[in-house]
Amino acid sequence: MALPPTPTNPSEDVGPLDRQNVVALEVEKPSQVRRFLVELIETILLALFLFLAINFVSARIRVDGVSMEPSFQLGDYVVVNRLAYRAGEIERGDIVVFPAPNDPELDYIKRVIALPGDSIAIYNGAVVVNGVTLHEPYLLEVQRGNYAERIVPAGSVFVMGDNRNNSDDSRSWGFLQIDSIIGKAIFRYWPVTNMTVVEHPVLLPNQP
């Protein structure tokens, strides 16, 4: 007895309702792929936007040296607020990050000691700003040497490291242009054991 012929088209062995389900699945599959691709692109664009926004308002630097000991140690990672001086004024005691004057490929981190118009001098290790000797509890040790009195020019500040006897700063290369400052150090996030908000003591009242 002869067997019935085998259908060559798979759709021939399904009823009208099954045929509708097959068509629906074929339509739905490309739709799911498109939705997945759209969501993937949206996620990538959002991540890129957040990355650019975070880098616009902040920077992250690694402390490479001992010039700011004991406030910062070699290998510390610090978040820097790039917008600090667009919204506010620079003050004595601020810890700032800027390209090294003698090597722009490096970033320095130092403390602001004197502002535009201030007089700055160092006598027997004591820093004198506008005739007042600064109290500096953050210093690693008493600094050696003197610095003849000078007036900080407009648009500049005088900066020094807290480790005064091992710091390349304004005493050697001069005043720092405020426009060259990358930003203000605000948070140390590594190592975790030393994670802390950066303190910026106001050393003297600002001049009117």
Distances (CA, A) of 74 to 45, 70, 77, 170, 192: 36, 10, 9, 21, 14
**Residue 194 structure tokens:** 């030393």
Check if the beta carbon of residue 33 is closer than 8 Å to that of residue 25: no
Sequence-ordered alpha helix ranges (H) in the chain:
16-57, 84-87, 170-173
Beta strands in 52-195 (DSSP E): 58-62, 77-81, 95-100, 103-114, 119-123, 126-129, 132-133, 147-151, 156-160, 176-177, 183-190
The two beta strands, 196-197 and 183-190, are antiparallel
Q: Which residues are catalytic?
A: 67, 110
**Residue 167 structure tokens:** 């710091």
Cα–Cα distance, 97 to 113 (Å, whole number): 14
